[in-house]
């Protein structure tokens, strides 16, 4: 078993480029996590984890994160929604689509509400981070939202 993170940050970014992978890379760079090796996690925020500003991460760092990414040739949006339960546990939803920021935000919040209901708990706090863009000067666009863990 790996350790339990003590801190987290909500980040987002957008990018565009002439290839889908480069657009995604540009969005990661914009979010401040482009030079990291992301290890994708599922949907739990540790009970005692505190939100903080993203620290400077050394290039090549292995960084756990819940990531929502959307890549396309038109409008793309992504959202991370974090819900804190009465018990202190946090639950995370990630949504991405070729749709509006408001749509992915609404769907992510609905996910967290349903996840709380399944646990028989009430939400005491809900936070979201959303990214949305469409290509202007390139063929591809990407939107990334993430909750990044450390400590």
Strand runs (DSSP E) across 1-139, as ranges? 7-17, 37-40, 44-45, 50-51, 62-72, 76-85, 90-97, 123-133
Cα distances from 77 to residues 74, 100, 130, in angstroms, run 10, 6, 7
Mean pLDDT by 10 residues, the chain (151 residues): 88 98 98 97 92 96 97 98 97 96 98 98 97 96 97 89
Q: What pLDDT is stored for residue 135 in this prediction?
A: 94
Burial class (CB in 10 A: 0-12, 13-18, 19+), 57: middle
Domains and CATH numbers, the chain: 7-150 (3.50.20.10)
Q: What pLDDT is stored for residue 58 in this prediction?
A: 95
Q: What pLDDT is stored for residue 2 in this prediction?
A: 73
Q: What pLDDT is stored for residue 3 in this prediction?
A: 85
Q: What pLDDT is stored for residue 48 in this prediction?
A: 87
Tokens of 14: 């957008």
Q: What pLDDT is stored for residue 1 in this prediction?
A: 56
């Amino acid at each position: 078993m790996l350790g339990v993170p003590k801190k987290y940050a909500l980040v987002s970014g957008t990018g565009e480029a002439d290839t889908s992978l480069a657009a995604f890379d540009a969005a990661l760079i914009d979010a401040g996590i482009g030079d990291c090796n992301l290890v994708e996690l599922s949907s739990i925020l540790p009970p005692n984890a505190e939100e903080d500003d993203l620290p400077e991460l050394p290039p090549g760092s292995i960084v756990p994160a819940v990531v929502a990414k959307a890549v396309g040739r038109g409008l793309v949006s992504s959202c991370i929604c974090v819900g804190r339960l009465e018990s202190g546990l946090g639950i995370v939803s990630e949504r991405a689509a070729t749709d509006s920021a408001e749509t992915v935000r609404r769907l992510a919040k609905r996910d967290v509400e349903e996840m709380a209901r399944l646990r028989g708990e009430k939400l005491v706090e809900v936070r979201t981070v959303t990214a949305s863009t469409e290509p202007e000067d390139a063929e591809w666009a990407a939107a990334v939202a993430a909750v990044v863990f450390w400590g």
